[in-house]
Structure 1
């Protein structure tokens, strides 16, 4: 794209050096009126020259200069590119960074009838022989980024390169980093390519940003090339470079490779910070490889890297995620004993884990302990209040909620909604509505979840019309269209065991849509009406309606759990005809259900169906099939499956071998008894 020629300014012909009487204060400066009764251009130029001269005299008093500049603006003086250049020069030599940014924002927005462009201001500064361009370029780029005007930055950055002056590397780095942060990765890489093309210098931070961009795109080979290029151009990688490289591989499925790099660089005595270790430890924790995570944690300490709250948080999160609360607590105590300050993130992980394990009383006790050290927030309370409400311990939940009020904690919509949910579960609609009104009076607008909980509460108590009125109020707030309101009532009635009422409500709707049918289907599933759900699904499919795949999977899972395998097979077959492909997980669940019921003929049917769909069964599926055949004494088929599994490149684990060992033992027992 051909870029327009930049308009050139030279201030030398405008500025004359005269002795000017120094003014001691802003109030004195404000008395200067740089206006003339003459209307010709010569008098305007003289006024501008006087303003520039005054600003130049105030170079060592940036606050006074800025006050004078702003005062003139309020008095109606029309600043031009020369006066703006003068104030920019002053601010660049001062600590007034925000004020400098504001000047550029004014120019970009064309405030106060500004009739020149940013590029004109840059030219004016450059042609005066002024060479402090780092502050200018940084401020300009920042202003454009604040306004989201990324294309304009690119235009100016590479236009100016043709006119003799170059922006600082830090400006390019800031711009590229913002682009990567905003998800404009391709644009960031394009800027880097332009940098390279123009022969502009790149530093270690430039390469770190480029690596981030490439890893976000999943371009691992290109990232390798950039990393290797740093050595060729003699840019020494720093801690951020190595950490970015390791993180990039971990987030692109290369956790083990990232771990190998970490170990190799640590062995080579390359300085690695705690962040590099945290990235790999978090990856291990997410994959339930907790022993490897802890080994790496211990190795990190032997390398002299001091753990921080983030690496402990990663480990505690991993143990909480997989239900090992005792280990999580031990790590937290260890962290505190090392004088590493805990935070609400770690505390809330522990509280959530207690609640998910059903150990709510311990969560309440732990909350009290955390309160004593002052590390709790709204989320901490909300986790425990929610768990208490679900257990029907609404009185205890109310106590905690009241405690939050007493401590003058700022309650939000989530806190109110959780407590409203607890009241609705207990059928205490009056209390729920009182709290609902309080929430609105406090200025908190209810969200969709709040309305849904109240609507379900009404529906459960057969207050259908009140539920409608409530959801009409929701519509006034613009949260959802009518079908969402009707869906809430249908699902709420079913969850309250009022399936017949829900069916009648659906029939009463003048206009029905697919979402309404989905709601009824989900309602049947929630209420445990699997047979009705199945018949409803079959009826809808005959009429050309398709309920969501997720809803069908719920029903399929329900049949598997109940052992209604024939219905499950029929549902699978119907899904295949409708091109609704189940996931491997659903197939695996169904196969597992058949194997537990020792219906290996049906299990083999589904297993073959999986293969016919072009899918490869996973290790768990093969193991279930092998164990299933062992239970029904079909040893040959068990061993045939084991052979097939290895041919598919699937490595057996200890569970698979245990199943085969049991099968082999049965064969030996039969042989010995017959001899």
Structure 2
């Protein structure tokens, strides 16, 4: 075509290049444009700008914009929409928004649906949902009305950022304006409602979409199944699965994996195994997430040997365990007291080059400390001090607690000081453990200081904190101090646990009849 005489028109050439671009052959498209000796038009220039933007070469796209002007062409809505979209897909959202604002302000042309869509998607992508809602409102007020895609982007973002009621308002507004919702709209809303435990409303939406002739897909039903399973209502998830099949839909691996996880969360691991067998019988291949859930179920029931058997089997089937799979097995082995096997699993992770996350190290150090290896855990922690993963409050708290239980109170206090010197902020659990450390050393003044310090730092004591400090004061017969914290605990809406209450009974004779604690004790005794 390049050597044909007379040469093809630019219109014919653009048709060919458009086909290449649709199949994502951007480099080839640009190369062909460079080889032709045909004067290019604006349409061709727009294609080239798009190719550069798709190749993460937005700067070249803007350079071509300058060429457009030099050749006497007037950029149109497609030109700028392409550049705005290019900025968004290359994570330069705020630049895209600024360009959009400039174009609107100059009124050189009216933004089209594509440009609006790119800006809305970009704002949602970076969490600027409220700004996306503003752009949507601006679009509603203008001549270029939003379609379902723009509404879907905003609704989905609102749901992801826990603003599901606002999303429902947008949904209602969208319906009033005659824009017909699709399955994507409903999926976002159903997922948002389920995230807040509002499954009843989610089911009503499912009924609503079917009444309106919008067919729910496998994902729609799977969202509901997953939510039911997480809340412990596996029987409802099974019912949802049956409804899915009745509508002619084929449940996928994700749907069955939700059931496996649901049964495992309820401790019904045998039923979970039967679900895996059902999957295989239907011609589905369980994935690593399915098996990780099953391994977790076995570990929770202390059936670690069966968990290890599944772990070996999945590798024989060609599946590669991920960090979650290893973490699950590692935790199960430590909980069963099989420290040697746990250490072998951790070494295997390292040997296979699998990156351990902070969760891995929390499981590792907690398991070691819980099995009498606090000193070894500290040594390992020190040997990895240069790793960023080690800069974690949770890891420090685990080690401080391990030292406390192992009688290494000075070491625990040193770790706490180190944590603070490293610029980490102790959380409520860290403070609670340190309060216990101070009390066990007889440093009750310092324990009280820590309670006030955590409040000053915006970390409020919880029920566990109060129970710990009260129990420690009572054990040391510091009745007056214990009384102060018990009454403070009650005033803040927390209650003594069983251990605290049994110790509190010793205080009864020293309390006045109108004391809040005395009143509470009388109620508890009844």
Shorter-chain TM-score above 0.5: yes
Contact 2:467 2:497 in 1 (8 A): no
Q: Distance in 1 between matches of 2:472 and 2:349?
A: 35
Q: Which segment is superposed worse, 343-352 or 530-539?
A: 530-539
Q: What displacement does 1:300 show?
A: 0.8
2:147 is the alignment partner of 1:197: no
Q: 1:160-186, CA deviations, whole angstroms, 9 ceiling, x for partnerless residues?
A: 5x22x2334233223223333444333
Shift of the 217–244 alpha-carbon distance from structure 1 to 2, 3 Å rule, reads closer
1:303 alignment partner in structure 2: 247
Matched, 1:447 2:402: no
Which residue among 170, 177, 193 is the counterpart of 2:114?
A: 170
Cα distance in 2, alignment partners of residues 451 and 155 from structure 1: 48
Equivalent in the alignment of 1:49 = none
Indicate which of 411, 422, 436 corresponds to 1:491.
436
Question: Within 5 Å, which residues of 2 pair with 1:137-148?
Answer: 137-142=84-89, 146=92, 148=94
SS in 2 for 1:218: helix
Equivalents in 2 of 1:427, 1:94: separation in Å?
Answer: 61
The alpha-carbon deviation at position 195 of structure 1 amounts to 1.1
2:376 to 428, 431, 436: 431
CA distance in 1, matches of 2:259, 2:139: 41
Give the 3 Å change call, closer, same or farther, for CA 447–211 of structure 1 in structure 2. Answer: closer
Deviations 1:527-570 (A, max 9, x none): 7968969864422478xx769958x43x2455679997997xx9
Q: 1:294 to 1:159 in 2, by over 3 A?
A: same
Query: For residue 294 of structure 1, what is the aligned residue in structure 2?
Result: 238
Which of the pair has more CA radius of gyration? 1
Q: Distance in 2 between matches of 1:383 and 1:203?
A: 45
**1:514 aligns to 2:456 (yes or no):** no
Aligned residue pair count: 476
Q: 1:575 to 1:89 in 2, by over 3 A?
A: farther
Question: Which secondary structure state, in structure 2, belongs to the residue aligned with residue 316 of structure 1?
Answer: helix
What SS is found at the alignment partner of 2:443? helix
Q: Which residue matches 2:306?
A: 362
Aligned residue for 2:105? 159
Deviation at 1:513, TM superposition (A): 4.9
The residue aligned with 2:83 is 136
Per the alignment, do residues 365 and 513 of structure 1 end up closer, same or farther by CA in structure 2, a change over 3 Å counting? same
Task: Give the aligned partner of residue 98 of structure 1.
Answer: 55
- Is the counterpart of residue 383 in structure 1 residue 340 in structure 2? no
Kindly tell me: are residues 323 and 508 of structure 1, through their superposed partners in 2, closer, same or farther at Cα, counting changes over 3 Å? closer
CA separation of 1:505/1:136 partners in 2, compared to 1, >3 Å: closer, same or farther? same
Unpaired runs of 5+ in structure 1? 1-58, 67-84, 108-117, 494-498, 579-586, 603-675
Q: Which residue of 2 aligns with 1:276?
A: 220
Query: In 1, Cα distance between the equivalents of 2:187 and 2:448?
Result: 60
Alpha-carbon distance in structure 2 between the residues aligned to 1:423 and 1:193: 56
Give the whole-Å Cα distance in 1 for the aligned partners of 2:45 and 2:471.
67
Question: Which structure 2 residues correspond to residues 231-380 of structure 1 after superposition, within 5 A?
Answer: 237-247=181-191, 250=194, 255-263=199-207, 265-266=209-210, 270-373=214-317, 374-380=319-325
Q: Do 1:320 and 1:353's aligned partners in 2 also have CA atoms closer than 8 Å?
A: yes
Superposition TM-score, scaled by structure 2 size? 0.72
In the alignment, structure 1 residue 407 sits paired with structure 2 residue 352: yes
Counterpart contact for 1:208–1:241, Cα < 8 Å: yes
Query: What does residue 404 of structure 2 align with?
Result: 459
Could you tell me how far apart the structure 2 residues matched to 1:125 and 1:256 are?
A: 61
**Equivalent position of 1:398 in the other structure:** 343
Specify the SS of the correspondent of 1:440.
Answer: coil
Matched, 1:223 2:171: yes
Are 1:504 and 2:442 matched, yes or no?
Answer: yes
Residues 381 and 139 (structure 1), Cα distance of their counterparts in 2 relative to 1, 3 Å cut: closer
Deviation at 1:261, TM superposition (A): 4.2
Render the CA deviation track for 1:48-75: whole Å, top value 9, x for unaligned: xxxxxxxxxxx99846999xxxxxxxxx
* 8 Å Cα contact 2:400/2:415 also seen in 1: yes
Distance in 2 (CA, whole Å) between partners of 1:201 and 1:193 is 10
What do residues 102-127 of structure 1 show as CA deviations (whole Å, max 9, x unaligned)?
446x89xxxxxxxxxx9x96995997
Tell me by how many angstroms 1:301 deviates. Answer: 1.4
8 Å CA contact retained: 2:337, 2:371: yes
Give the conservation status (yes or no) of the 8 Å contact 1:351–1:366.
Answer: yes
Instruction: Give the Cα separation in 2 of the matches to 1:547 and 1:270.
Output: 53
Partner-residue secondary structure (3-state), 2:397? helix
Q: Is the 8 A contact 2:158 2:164 kept in 1?
A: yes
Which whole-Å CA distance do the structure 1 matches of 2:399 and 2:313 have between them? 33
SS at match of 1:478: coil
Q: 1: distance between equivalents of 2:272 and 2:280? A: 12
Q: 1:478 aligns with which of 423, 437, 450?
A: 423
For the residues of structure 1 that align with 2:506 and 2:259, how far apart are their CA atoms?
41
**Distance in 1 between residues matched to 2:189 and 2:183, nearest whole Å:** 10
* 1:343 Cα deviation from its structure 2 partner: 3.5
Question: Displacement, 1:87?
Answer: 12
Deviation for aligned residue 1:275: 1.4
For the 8 Å contact 2:374–2:406, the answer to whether it is kept is no
The 5 A counterparts of 1:582-621 are 602=526
Q: Please report how far the alpha carbon of residue 187 of structure 1 lies from its aligned counterpart in structure 2 after TM superposition.
A: 1.9
* In 2, Cα distance between equivalents of 1:481 and 1:263: 47
CA distance in 2, matches of 1:262, 1:504: 61
User: In 2 relative to 1, CA 337–441 (structure 1 residues): closer, same or farther, beyond 3 Å?
Assistant: farther
Q: Distance in 2 between matches of 1:92 and 1:149?
A: 17
Which residues in structure 2 correspond to 1:45-64 (within 5 Å)? 62=30
After superposition, give the CA deviation of every residue in 1:227-259 in whole Å (9 maximum; x if it has no partner).
24335xxxx544323434544555566533432
Q: Relative to 1, partners in 2 of residues 1:577 and 1:154: Cα closer, same or farther, differing over 3 Å? A: farther
| TM-score where L is the length of structure 1 | 0.58
Which stretches in structure 2 are left out of the alignment for 5+ residues?
1-26, 35-41, 456-460
User: Is the contact made by 1:424 and 1:457 (CA closer than 8 Å) also made in structure 2?
Assistant: yes
